[in-house]
Amino acid sequence: PFLFVDKIISHESDVLVAQRTWRAEEDFYKGHYPGAPITPGVLLCESVFQAGALLMAKLLGGAGGQRGVPLLTKVTDVRFRLPVYPGDTTTIEVRRKETMGDFHFMTGTVKNGDKRVLHLEFSVAWKKPEGQVAP
């Protein structure tokens, strides 16, 4: 599966903290980069988006219900600071800053120990995908 959150550490109001251990045997390390593997930045971003989806599910009463699923609508201000290597365990924090209608504006930070490796801002809309049958 395409899952990049191992567990939820804490959840309070508009903040969720999760954890991910980047295992050396994962397939993407074979090509990124052979002999010098680092975790692809896009997967670090994906771990933040998945933590954001978990936060939204908690805030809105569960995923896959009548309200639909979280859809990523915008990503801004992405800043990579340090690489993440196989075997590293990262902490992912997402925070909902504001809600306007069905849109939820969030920030995300990934840390390796006490060092920030990624920060970004993003928005999520909770929608029914086309073709989804109403219950």
For residue 33, cis peptide bond before it (omega within 30 degrees of 0): yes
Q: In the chain, what's the furthest Cα-to-Cα distance?
A: 50
Q: Take residue 38 and report the two structure tokens written for it.
A: 């680092």
Which one is catalytic: 11, 32, 104, 119?
32
Catalytic residue list contains 11: no
H/E element, 105: strand 103-112
Q: Take residue 35 and report the two structure tokens written for it.
A: 């002999």
Q: Look at residues 1, 20, 25 and name the one whose alpha carbon lies nearest to residue 9.
A: 20
Annotated catalytic sites, by residue? 32
